[in-house]
Structure 1
Amino acid sequence: MDRRTLIIAGAALMLGGMPAHAGQTWDMAVAYPPGNYHAKSAERFATEVAAATKGEVTIKVQAGGALGFKGPEMLAAVRDGLVPVGTMLLNQQVGVEPLLGIASLPYLVSSPSEMRTITDLARPAYDRIAQKHNQKILYMVPWPGQNIFAKTEVKAPEGFRSLKIRTVDRNGSDFFRELGASPAQMPWGEVVPALATGVINSVTTSSSSGVDGQFWDFTSFCHLVNWQSNFDMVTVNLAAWKKLTPDQQKAIVDVAKRLEPEFWKAAEQEDADKLKLLSDKGVKMVQSNDTLRAFMIAKATPKWDAFIAQVPAAKEIIEKYRAAVKK
């Protein structure tokens, strides 16, 4: 019996066989390495939950994909009770729920304040999606903006043609294909091996992931294009949630509400710290010139209406968002 089979069997026993209101111990699946700030936020959350529930609820953070689940599998893994709690990148779940890709549309969301606005407007829809998939959102945290790490510098639009670039989601793949690049969508665990073997020569990701992957060993340039925003949400399986007492549930919700603003501030500082570290390691920071930026935005904006055509539920959210941020 392999590790993943044991996890599934254990989850079934834990979610189905434990008496309601007993002390609970939950594994929390985190695909990112322990040093990543999302993993650190999860550890902080677990510590605060233990304190708030007087040790009645224990969350064991399993970082680095220790439980065997990749990022795109998290929505289903929590839904099916294979793991009680998980943190998932929203735009990796679009194969199941396309609306979760709304905030990752190219150049739609470009600043911390815009991230807050889109989250506030989309959160009711996110909550409905979570409930549909047998889970409850505990908190959400943004990623730093998505940049382009590459072996060579892209100075003009035609420079994209040389990029064999890793992307996270369909939005990214479609966008970079429009730019002239050759995108390859893959989960985080496959990125560094693909760079090392030459399957790809560039990656679009955050500064945090650039450090996680030690990209200074593989790339020389970080293009600060900030073309996409991404979010992680932490959810709990509803069967596990319902085993808690009302007081335990309230304590956990209160912890999540208190910590989420701190995690958002940490995300902003994370970007500055990680960009400095990358620079110190020899990665050259490149600001996109006006021609390059105009080219990227011109390719990006038609995708907003195309997304609405594909996902009609996004129409009201995007219209309210654009009115609010005047974009």
Structure 2
Amino acid sequence: MNGLKRLGAFFALSAAFALQTPAFAVDWDFATANAPGNYQTKLDEKFAAEVAAATNNEVKINIHAGGQLGFKGPEMLSVIRDGLVPIGSFQFAQQVGISPILGASSVPYLVSGFDEMKTFRSVSKPYYDAEFKKFNQKLLLTIPWPGQNVFSKVELSNSDTFRTMKIRTTDRNGSDFFRSLGASPAQIPWGEVVPALSTGVINSVSTSTSSAVDGQFWDFQKACNVVNWQSNFEGVSVNLDAWNKLSAKNQKAIEEVVARLEPVFWDAAKAEDSKNFETLKAKGMEIYTPPAAVRDAMAAKGKPSWTAFEDAVPAAKPLLKSYLTAVGKQ
């Protein structure tokens, strides 16, 4: 074959390959502060794989866990709004600085346990869809975190124990709540929690079993006090400018993936919580259910925050009213 024929064959092969390869393939970086091994990150990875399959590899999502892209959890709503990354995940409660209504589920003892979380997800959907749109985003997935418990060096045997606690919280709701119980709260980003424990800056942490396992809390703590005082959600959202650049076919394909995976991801969260309790016990931590008097005292301190939240965030009032009616709470 002479040079011209070889060149012609090369261009013919290139043209054929171009016809088989998407002309406008989308390559998105996905930012999350969650640790690479965390179950939320694994679910993000499954979502990315399913999106690639459903769009015939026209939409590729690259998961960057553990804050690899330099963004912290509380920054993510702004980061995605501004297009610094097209897609990512974050805890709703960490965004209350710019979107107070996203802190609704984290109000103490308002939403407790997976069943109530499912009801809240259903009731809050139109409110949160509208809120994300204000921030130039589309909320794709909502995934529960296991309930918030108190990890400490000692058993939470009575209410006075709180006075000995320098406790890490994730948001303002948590800080206000534990301060009302007599503790000394500190809002600390996840990446700084283990160093703070090791140096004694804090001696207690309010978090889920997942984070306790991620942080290997058994190296610092002895007790997991099961109080389930707060429920947090992880959201996966996409920048609307990036979303609107997708073809209608790929948008529909991703929405179908979301509808199919979200129930699966909720089941995974429940299984994760059960597995984590077993891991904590195997590593030597004691699992305590505090006395009824302690739990009643916590609930009593928490309930006034429902009204306070409504007063501070008037837009949340219809959401809370609908939710409380749905779960039969007063």
TM tier relative to shorter chain: over 0.9
Residues in 2 aligned to 1:92 and 1:140: alpha-carbon distance in whole angstroms: 14
**SS of equivalent to 1:110:** coil
Residues in 1 aligned to 2:164 and 2:273: alpha-carbon distance in whole angstroms: 27
Q: Is the 8 A contact 1:32 1:64 kept in 2?
A: yes
Cα offset for 1:153? 1.7
Which runs of structure 2 are paired with 1:220-239 in the superposition (5 Å)? 220-239=222-241
The number of equivalent residue pairs is 308
The residue aligned with 1:133 is 135
Match of 1:256 among 255, 258, 265: 258
The residue aligned with 2:181 is 179
Residues in 2 aligned to 1:136 and 1:187: alpha-carbon distance in whole angstroms: 25
The residue aligned with 1:142 is 144
Identity, % of aligned pairs? 56
The residue aligned with 2:270 is 268
Residues in 2 aligned to 1:246 and 1:262: alpha-carbon distance in whole angstroms: 25
**SS of equivalent to 1:313:** helix
Q: Report Cα offsets for 1:10-59 as digits up to 9, x if no partner.
A: xxxxxxxxxx9811000100111111111000000000000000000000
Residues in 2 aligned to 1:326 and 1:21: alpha-carbon distance in whole angstroms: 53
User: Which protein shows a greater Rg?
Assistant: 2
Letter matched to residue 301 of structure 2: K
- Per the normalisation by structure 1, the TM-score is 0.93
Q: Report Cα offsets for 1:217-240 as digits up to 9, x if no partner.
A: 010000000000000100011111
Residues in 2 aligned to 1:33 and 1:311: alpha-carbon distance in whole angstroms: 32
Q: Is the 8 A contact 2:127 2:319 kept in 1?
A: no
Residues in 1 aligned to 2:195 and 2:258: alpha-carbon distance in whole angstroms: 35
Which 10-residue stretch deviates more, 162-171 or 307-316?
307-316
Letter matched to residue 92 of structure 1: Q
Match of 1:65 among 57, 64, 67: 67
- Per the normalisation by structure 2, the TM-score is 0.92
Residues in 2 aligned to 1:303 and 1:35: alpha-carbon distance in whole angstroms: 34
Q: Is the 8 A contact 1:22 1:244 kept in 2?
A: no
Residues in 1 aligned to 2:285 and 2:98: alpha-carbon distance in whole angstroms: 36
Letter matched to residue 218 of structure 2: W
The residue aligned with 1:299 is 301
Runs of at least 5 residues in structure 2 that lack an aligned partner in the other structure: 1-21
Residues in 2 aligned to 1:44 and 1:312: alpha-carbon distance in whole angstroms: 37
The residue aligned with 1:151 is 153
Which runs of structure 2 are paired with 1:140-219 in the superposition (5 Å)? 140-219=142-221
Match of 1:104 among 103, 106, 115: 106
Match of 2:243 among 241, 244, 249: 241
Root-mean-square deviation (Å): 1.1
Q: Is the 8 A contact 2:30 2:88 kept in 1?
A: yes
Q: Given the superposition, is the C-alpha separation of residues 61 and 121 from structure 1 closer, same or farther in structure 2, using an over 3 Å criterion? A: same
The residue aligned with 1:94 is 96
The residue aligned with 1:7 is none
Which 10-residue stretch deviates more, 316-325 or 62-71?
316-325
Which 10-residue stretch deviates more, 314-323 or 171-180?
314-323
Q: Is the 8 A contact 1:135 1:236 kept in 2?
A: yes
**SS of equivalent to 1:236:** strand
Q: Is the 8 A contact 1:146 1:205 kept in 2?
A: yes
Match of 1:51 among 45, 53, 67: 53
Residues in 2 aligned to 1:317 and 1:75: alpha-carbon distance in whole angstroms: 21
Q: Is the 8 A contact 1:176 1:183 kept in 2?
A: yes
